[in-house]
Structure 1
Amino acid sequence: MRNALIVVDVQESFRQRPLWRLADNPDIAARVDRLVRSARAKGDLVVWVLHAEYGSKTVFDPDLGHVRLLDGLAAADGEPVLTKTSHNAFTTTNLQQLLTAAGVRSLTVCGIRTEQCVETTTRVGSDLGYDVTFVVDACATFPIPHRDLPADATVEELLADPRTLSAADVTARTEYALAGRFATIRTVAELA
């Protein structure tokens, strides 16, 4: 069974946000690079996915130049680099067609934000019939504010709010939600 490594949103856009200093895995590029090298050595397909919000004038607007892989990462010749506009890597791209054409039946998924685009891609991939492995320590996320915290709250206000969900809690919740239902949870050391 052929495998594909799906690298979701490991992009410079996130490093441009003040919240980046709270990333639970600031060395994500090195961990992803280790997975990518291992996948290439095994003959797995490596697919890079970037998130874009066209015309938004945010760090996710491609016109501002941040919708690119984190420094230190690069697609090799022939590795697809897809741009998505939804929370999962399937809905607004031709990812499923690429995987089908390549004979892929299992996925290894990693990236940024653990609970958002990476988890959603994992769930959709599972629903589409892929055997999915979620590489928990090759993902990154940030503390999540309570829904009542104003959208323009500062990082300091986020951290001061006792209702804020820590990045560690977000990751643990994601593991609980995915394990045994949508994916097998693994670490970089177990795979590469």
Structure 2
Amino acid sequence: MSEPVSPVEALIVVDVQSAAVSGARAVPDAARIIDRTADLIDRARAAGALVVHLQNDGPAGADDEPHTPGWALHHPARTGPSETVIRKPEDDGFERTPLGDVLTDAGVRAVAVCGVMSEMCVRATARRALDLDYRVVLPHDAHATHDIPAAEGISDAVPAAMASRVAEWSLGSEAEIVAHASDVMFTPRPCSRDAPEPGLR
């Protein structure tokens, strides 16, 4: 049995958008990611934790180009003071966004991170959170990516599951990697003052 994990005050759901979890370009085992992220969102809401949905703005012609079907969030955000949507232009969810201010206003110092893609936006957001001295919990079964294709003269193809594990490992010992989304516990966000309203930030 795994050691109990101290509760976190916020859930950051990274880029769980239609193009990433449905259709021909979905990550392998997308049904698992949909299920695990839905469970995390439901339990964070029930606990009164802050829920932040990051929504990537891809370039023109990309699967996640703004206002195309693939750009839409798979899990709709709820209206209320403890849930918000933040659009982001970079892999790092803190870069050129109000994410840091949203967490600060809610008094958050501990976050769980989930979503896609493991080695890109999930890792970049978790790494920046660690650099900003947040406590970061990353549930292994609640993030995913694509297989990495073979590169001639460099390597064979890398399965998606291995790429995700390497992304976790690259965060070092500061991140708390837990086996299951169900291992993540939530507690109410400390402050409701100036809490973010959902919408495009």
Normalised to the residue count of structure 1, the TM-score between the two structures is 0.82
Match of 2:4 in 1: none
Structure 1, unpaired ranges of 5+? 150-160
> Identity across aligned pairs (percent)?
34
The offset of 1:27, in angstroms, is 2.6
Query: Comparing both chains, which one has the higher relative contact order based on Cα–Cα distances under 8 Å and sequence gaps of 6 or more?
Result: 2
- Preserved contact between residue 22 and residue 30 of structure 2 (Cα < 8 Å): no
Seen in structure 2, the aligned counterparts of structure 1 residues 122 and 80 have a Cα distance that, compared at 3 Å, is same
1:175 aligns with 2:168: yes
- 2:24 is aligned with 1:18: yes
Contact map agreement 1:26 1:140 (CA 8 A) in 2: no
Q: Distance in 2 between matches of 1:136 and 1:62?
A: 29
Q: 4+ runs of 1 displaced by more than 6 Å?
A: none
Of 22, 33, 39, the match for 1:28: 33
- Residues 1:65 and 2:65 aligned together: no
Partner of 1:115: 119
CA shift at 1:162, angstroms?
Answer: 6.6
CA distance in 1, matches of 2:170, 2:109: 22
Structure 1 residues 95-139: Cα deviation after superposition (integer angstroms, max 9, x where no partner): 000110110111100001111100110000000110000112111
Q: Partner amino acid for 1:3?
A: E
Aligned partners of 1:104 and 1:144: how far apart in 2?
Answer: 35
Letter in 2 for 1:87: D
User: Given that residues 149 and 156 in structure 2 are in contact (C-alpha distance below 8 angstroms), is that contact kept between their aligned partners in structure 1?
Assistant: yes
Q: CA deviation at 1:6?
A: 0.2
For residues 100 and 135 of structure 1, what CA distance do their matches in structure 2 show?
Answer: 23
- TM-score w.r.t. the length of structure 2 is 0.79
Using a 3 Å threshold, how does the CA distance of structure 1 residues 25 and 65 change in structure 2: closer, same or farther?
Answer: closer
CA contact (8 A) 2:13 2:54 kept: yes
Aligned with 2:11 (options 5, 17, 23): 5
For 1:155, the equivalent position in structure 2 comes to none
Provide closer, same or farther for how the CA distance between residues 139 and 2 of structure 1 changes in structure 2, counting only shifts above 3 A. closer
Which stretch of the first structure deviates more once superposed, 140-149 or 32-41? 140-149
RMSD: 2.3
